[in-house]
């Protein structure tokens, strides 16, 4: 076995839940592994059900021919987004860097193995989409038998190119940031800019496709996916390989993936050590003079610690603060271009105007600001430093109050500013605006306390990489999924009730509900903090 394979095997084994289950003596840990496995299996089932339902819908409407392209696009988009958020933490700046680099591995071997590790770990998600779509495709398109193994084999290659693209972008950001004294700050700013650009590109692309649709002769979903396949060649190669059993298309997908892999890691390997050295080292001016110090209350001190924790980590900052920045951007864009234009762009010209949508303003803003509550991941983020809080003379409830205070300090100002922008842009009456602001604050309070409940209940301190806590933890999933679905439903309900009885009564009622829910969650936090003291 070559060294690359030895390393990859060790990486996979080191995070294998089965390995932990087999060797741990901690019964609680074992129970948690079983619980996580059930949760993951449930998520797989949801993805499979969604993909099959999509194919059934396509089959019913006679659009099944577009299924391979759509499958390729879905897997590619998932692979790109998953990798983009994880490059820093998985590829660069990981904990065991010193240990690995002191062993006889080439820099590019370490980088490539970290990438392959990410690929193998995420492959089951991509394959669940692929297999489920294949089932629907098999039922409705009745392809030749050879199409099945081709589909399955090429599904293994589909995520590679988008993953490489995301990893390479992450590498470029890291490479540029490494040239600055404040590496972390530059990396955070560049990553955020890239994520915002990706969000914007989604709308730009949608707009392109919509324009094409207006002009094109074919006004079908097939035409849209066809356009997408032309824009993103690997999706077209996959569709050709599956539908026409085209050998050149198969070779193109496999060959391009292999070539891109070799090229990317040749380039990454050259500056890998330099980038990691810059990221793991901190500039030391050594010129500090002790001056007057500021005294804070215990709760404020913990909140400040949380602030430093957020701003000190690119991964945490990008995930934790992205929502509030997007909320502010939405508000600013509404002010500049006008809310009606945005509504037209999002609703594809449906007969909805800004006056009708006004009651939904707090929910639209909360959709972004409540996307991630820092309180959902910050208890787990204490990780190996948990002993510091444990050994200090602070009650657990004070710790959680500090964490909640920080989340409020982060979300309330951005929420308020964004709501104000949208209210001004949509010319909302003063009283309505005040009510929307109050509702926004109540929703932030709920999000903070609910996040804290999830964070305490699903606290996990033995993580290897903070991304596991920030993006993949049970606490974040339990917090986010119901929260996001509920807010979308509430937005629709608010618009509906607004047209029937005006916006004020439903908003007042919702302020009461959100405040009550926040109070209940806060109480729960206090109970949990006593139980786990």
Partner 1 sequence: MSDHAMLEIRHYSKSYGAGKKAVDDVSLSVERGDIYGFIGHNGAGKSTTIRAVVGVLDFTEGEITIDGHSVRDEPMACKRVTAYIPDNPDLYENLTGIQYLNFVADVFGIGAAEREARIRKYADLFEITNDLGDLIGAYSHGMKQKLAIISALIHRPKLLVLDEPFVGLDPKATYALKEIMRDMCRQGTAVFFSTHVLDVAEKLCNKVAIIKRGRIVASGPMEALTEGHSLEQAFLEADGDE
Instruction: Verify binding: residue 391, partner 1, rule CB under 8 A.
Output: no
**Residue 29: both structure tokens together:** 């840990």
C-alpha dist (Å) from residue 311 to 134, 360, 506: 44, 31, 37
Q: Which candidate, 81, 80, 90, 93, places its Cα nearest to that of 313? A: 93
Residue 274 Cβ vs partner 1, minimum distance, rounded to whole Å: 4
User: Which residue from 212, 277, 311, 472 is in contact with partner 1, where contact means CB under 8 A?
Assistant: 277
Q: Are 330 and 422 in contact (CB under 8 A)?
A: yes
Residue 172 Cβ vs partner 1, minimum distance, rounded to whole Å: 18
Q: How far apart are CA 528 and CA 533, in angstroms?
A: 8
Q: Which candidate, 116, 92, 235, places its Cα nearest to that of 169? A: 92
Name which of 276 and 507 has its Cβ closer to partner 1.
276
Count residues contacting partner 1 (CB under 8 A)? 46
Name which of 240 and 468 has its Cβ closer to partner 1.
468
Measured from the Cβ of residue 287, the count of other Cβ atoms closer than 10 Å reads: 5
Residues in the chain: 533
Find the binding residues for partner 1 in span 129-168 (CB under 8 A): none
Name which of 16 and 200 has its Cβ closer to partner 1.
16
Name which of 95 and 524 has its Cβ closer to partner 1.
95
Residue 284 Cβ vs partner 1, minimum distance, rounded to whole Å: 5
Q: How far apart are CA 511 and CA 413, in angstroms?
A: 18
**Residue 341: both structure tokens together:** 């234009």
Instruction: Verify binding: residue 18, partner 1, rule CB under 8 A.
Output: no
Find the binding residues for partner 1 in span 86-125 (CB under 8 A): 95-99, 101-107
Residue with tokens 């690929």: 119
User: Which residue from 247, 462, 489, 519 is in contact with partner 1, where contact means CB under 8 A?
Assistant: 462
Residue 94 Cβ vs partner 1, minimum distance, rounded to whole Å: 9
Name which of 99 and 291 has its Cβ closer to partner 1.
99
Residue 30 Cβ vs partner 1, minimum distance, rounded to whole Å: 12
Buried-exposed string 185-217: b where 16+ CB fall within 10 A, e elsewhere? ebbbbbbbebbeeeeeeeeeeeeebeeeeeeee
Q: Which candidate, 526, 466, 192, 474, places its Cα nearest to that of 309? A: 466
Residue 472 Cβ vs partner 1, minimum distance, rounded to whole Å: 15
Q: Are 254 and 247 in contact (CB under 8 A)?
A: no
Q: How far apart are CA 282 and CA 264, in angstroms?
A: 27
Instruction: Verify binding: residue 182, partner 1, rule CB under 8 A.
Output: yes
Q: Which candidate, 174, 92, 167, 169, places its Cα nearest to that of 122? A: 167
Find the binding residues for partner 1 in span 283-322 (CB under 8 A): 283-287
Instruction: Verify binding: residue 6, partner 1, rule CB under 8 A.
Output: yes
User: Which residue from 274, 344, 457, 524 is in contact with partner 1, where contact means CB under 8 A?
Assistant: 274
Enter the DSSP assignment of 181. Answer: S
- Per CB under 8 A, the segment of 280-288, 301-309, 350-358, 432-440 that binds partner 1 is 280-288
Name which of 277 and 515 has its Cβ closer to partner 1.
277
Residue 104 Cβ vs partner 1, minimum distance, rounded to whole Å: 4
Name which of 174 and 399 has its Cβ closer to partner 1.
174
User: Which residue from 31, 60, 181, 219 is in contact with partner 1, where contact means CB under 8 A?
Assistant: 181
Q: Which candidate, 97, 81, 86, places its Cα nearest to that of 11? A: 97
Q: How far apart are CA 48 and CA 482, in angstroms?
A: 20
Helix (H, G, I), strand (E, B) or coil at 311: helix
User: Which residue from 42, 180, 199, 485 is in contact with partner 1, where contact means CB under 8 A?
Assistant: 180
Instruction: Verify binding: residue 385, partner 1, rule CB under 8 A.
Output: no
Which residues here bind partner 1, judged by CB under 8 A?
1, 3, 6-7, 9-10, 13-16, 19-20, 23-26, 95-99, 101-107, 180-183, 273-274, 276-278, 281-287, 462, 464
């Amino acid at each position: 076995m070559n060294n690359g394979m030895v390393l990859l095997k060790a990486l996979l084994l080191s995070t294998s839940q089965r390995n932990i289950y087999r060797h741990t003596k901690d019964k609680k840990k074992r129970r948690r592994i079983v619980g996580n496995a059930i949760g993951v299996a449930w998520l797989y089932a949801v993805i499979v059900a969604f993909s099959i339902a999509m194919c059934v819908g396509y089959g019913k409407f006679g659009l099944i021919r577009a299924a391979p392209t759509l499958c390729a696009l879905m897997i590619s988009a998932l692979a790109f987004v998953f990798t983009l958020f994880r490059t820093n933490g998985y590829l660069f700046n990981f904990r065991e860097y010193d240990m690995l680099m002191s062993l006889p591995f080439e820099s590019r071997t370490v980088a490539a193995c970290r990438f392959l590790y990410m690929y193998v770990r995420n492959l089951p998600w991509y394959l669940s989409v692929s297999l489920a779509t294949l089932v629907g495709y098999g039922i409705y398109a009745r392809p030749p038998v050879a199409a099945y193994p081709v589909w399955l084999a090429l599904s293994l290659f589909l995520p590679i190119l988008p993953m490489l693209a995301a990893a390479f972008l992450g590498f470029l950001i890291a490479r540029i940031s490494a040239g600055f004294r404040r590496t972390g700050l530059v990396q955070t700013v560049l990553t955020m800019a890239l994520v915002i650009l990706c969000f914007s590109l989604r709308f730009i692309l949608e707009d392109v496709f919509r324009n094409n649709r207006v002009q094109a002769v074919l006004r079908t979903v097939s035409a849209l996916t066809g356009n997408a396949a032309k824009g993103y060649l690997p999706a077209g190669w996959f569709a050709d390989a599956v539908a026409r059993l085209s050998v050149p298309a198969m070779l193109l997908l496999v060959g391009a993936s292999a070539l891109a892999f070799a090229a990317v890691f040749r380039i990454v390997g050259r500056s890998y050590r330099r980038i990691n050295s810059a990221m793991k080292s901190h500039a030391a001016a050594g010129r500090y003079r002790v001056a007057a110090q500021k005294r804070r209350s215990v709760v404020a001190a913990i909140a400040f610690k949380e602030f430093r924790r957020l701003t000190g980590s690119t991964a945490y900052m990008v995930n934790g603060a992205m929502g509030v920045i997007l909320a502010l951007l939405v508000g600013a864009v509404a002010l500049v271009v006008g809310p009606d234009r945005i509504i037209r762009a999002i609703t594809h010209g449906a007969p909805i105007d800004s006056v009708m949508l006004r009651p939904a303003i707090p929910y639209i803003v909360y959709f972004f600001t409540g996307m991630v509550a820092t309180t959902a991941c910050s208890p787990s983020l204490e990780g190996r430093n948990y002993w510091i809080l444990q050994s200090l003379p602070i009650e657990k409830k004070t710790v959680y109050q500090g964490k909640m205070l920080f989340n409020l300090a982060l979300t309330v100002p951005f929420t308020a500013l964004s709501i104000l922008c949208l209210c001004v842009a949509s010319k909302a009456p003063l009283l309505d605006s005040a009510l929307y602001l109050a509702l926004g604050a109540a929703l932030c309070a709920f999000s903070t306390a609910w996040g804290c409940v999830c964070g305490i209940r699903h606290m996990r301190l033995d993580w290897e990489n903070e991304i596991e806590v920030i993006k993949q933890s049970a606490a974040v999933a339990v917090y986010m999924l119901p929260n996001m679905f509920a807010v979308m439903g509430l937005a629709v309900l608010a618009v509906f009730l607004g047209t029937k009885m005006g916006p004020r009564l439903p908003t007042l009622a919702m302020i009461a509900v959100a405040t009550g829910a926040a109070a209940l969650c806060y109480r729960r936090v206090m109970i949990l903090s006593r139980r786990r003291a």
